[in-house]
Structure 1
């Protein structure tokens, strides 16, 4: 019964995440069929709106990065069983996003507006960004990433699958973090860029760059060692820009991540 409850909890957390993610697409894209989005919601004076929006973005950054750190996980799993730790993280992230959607204050001043065929092209580019995020999760392990695999293994009485080999495939041969590239594309491919949307895009893009470079990459190096360092040398982090080899630059091959 305890194992079944853990699995049901993981499924419920995943369902909340799925609905939140679908709403996030509408929120960022500014679709009017949702009650609130980045440009639609309760108004506020400029200073108050900036304060609230920045606080919401900081809250998400602290929660999302803090709960993902190995040190926090070691402490957290003393309180939360390991087989639902990831589901709890996914649920917490979803709840913080729901709070952001609910309390976000629009800043409606238009920075740029694109009309005609270019507008359709930008919407299509944003859709490609979201699709890249989705496909990227399945190229690693979608169900482990969102906690279902761990709860399923526990339900069946199987040991957790901890020794996952490092594998390069598809988009991961072009950039090390295609999910993050997809988010950046989706956030910036806006036919109508308001001040609020610009704040959201700048803050989330900055968070992605800092968190990936100084937190996630450090954890991956600690886990995979020289295998991941070699991957860093060969493949760009987020932007698919060509790398210049040591032979091209006349320099020795670096032994640490760029």
Structure 2
């Protein structure tokens, strides 16, 4: 290869890697905006449309539409995370962009949920006490804090696909995956899911639509955690099985022991 062709090839490779990095950063930015909207959607703060707003339709049809939307998110979010799908998917996209594309897909499905969600405004409970209301609002924000902290305790930017593209751009060799259980992961195996469960249920103004969202989302989290753990046992073997015996999935075990 002559020098000019070699220079052109290097420039092309550099451009492709830079494009991948920019793509992953844009996916991450979209994720941040989606999460901010989800906060407003559930809390009724600042979102043009929240979980209880909109013209609404008859409640049986609203239940059907909302159940389909959550099922669609569950199918996408869990299905694309499975190893068999990943092995098939990386035949069409670079492996370094697989996670960012997964994050983008999840955000698009969530956006669809925001747009098409049908409110069911029938009140289930409404806490009027300032102390009770303050407690539930505090729990809501605590849940978000737990979820955010859980991502940083493992690898926040790897979880959302930025680190993979950055490593490819800088020609770094990815670190070999190792099992670790820092801080919150010594209390429960899935603190991220626990944070979301708190977020979904902690509201002083629970409507039938919000309750439907909380129930179906809880059901999905339980299924998703089970599927994720099957993959973890397959990849980590006895090490993860011991972890399962010692640490509760979503609540601390009474006989919890330290030492991970």
- TM-score normalised over the length of structure 2: 0.91
What CA distance in whole angstroms lies between the structure 2 residues aligned with 1:140 and 1:117? 35
Q: Does 1:119 align with 2:133?
A: yes
In structure 1, the residue matched to 2:241 is 229
What CA distance in whole angstroms lies between the structure 2 residues aligned with 1:85 and 1:34? 30
User: Conserved in 1, the CA contact under 8 Å of 2:246 and 2:253?
Assistant: no
Cα displacement string for residues 114-149 of structure 1 (whole angstroms, at most 9, x for unaligned residues): 012210110001100000000000000000000000
Residue 17 of structure 1, aligned match among 20, 26, 31: 31
User: Which residues in structure 2 correspond to 1:56-95 (within 5 Å)?
Assistant: 56-95=69-108
In structure 2, the residue matched to 1:154 is 168
Residue 48 of structure 1, aligned match among 55, 61, 65: 61
User: Which residues in structure 2 correspond to 1:211-230 (within 5 Å)?
Assistant: 211-213=224-226, 215-230=227-242
Q: Does 1:172 align with 2:190?
A: no
User: Conserved in 2, the CA contact under 8 Å of 1:236 and 1:243?
Assistant: no
User: Which residues in structure 2 correspond to 1:130-149 (within 5 Å)?
Assistant: 130-149=144-163
- TM-score normalised over the length of structure 1: 0.91
What CA distance in whole angstroms lies between the structure 1 residues aligned with 2:37 and 2:98? 24
What's the Cα RMSD here?
1.2
What secondary structure does 2:85 align onto? helix
Deviation at 1:244, TM superposition (A): 8.0
Q: Does 1:4 align with 2:18?
A: yes
What secondary structure does 1:169 align onto? coil
Gap runs ≥5 in structure 1 = 246-258
User: Conserved in 2, the CA contact under 8 Å of 1:236 and 1:242?
Assistant: no
Deviation at 1:100, TM superposition (A): 0.2
What CA distance in whole angstroms lies between the structure 2 residues aligned with 1:146 and 1:3? 17
What CA distance in whole angstroms lies between the structure 1 residues aligned with 2:256 and 2:73? 36
State the number of aligned residues.
Answer: 242
User: Conserved in 2, the CA contact under 8 Å of 1:30 and 1:37?
Assistant: yes
What CA distance in whole angstroms lies between the structure 2 residues aligned with 1:223 and 1:36? 42
In structure 1, the residue matched to 2:44 is 30
Deviation at 1:164, TM superposition (A): 1.7
Cα displacement string for residues 91-113 of structure 1 (whole angstroms, at most 9, x for unaligned residues): 00000000000110000000001
**Structure showing greater Rg:** 2
What secondary structure does 1:79 align onto? coil
What CA distance in whole angstroms lies between the structure 1 residues aligned with 2:77 and 2:19? 25
What CA distance in whole angstroms lies between the structure 1 residues aligned with 2:188 and 2:256? 15
User: Which residues in structure 2 correspond to 1:190-229 (within 5 Å)?
Assistant: 190-213=203-226, 215-229=227-241
Gap runs ≥5 in structure 2 = 1-14
User: Which residues in structure 2 correspond to 1:234-249 (within 5 Å)?
Assistant: 234-243=246-255
What secondary structure does 2:91 align onto? coil
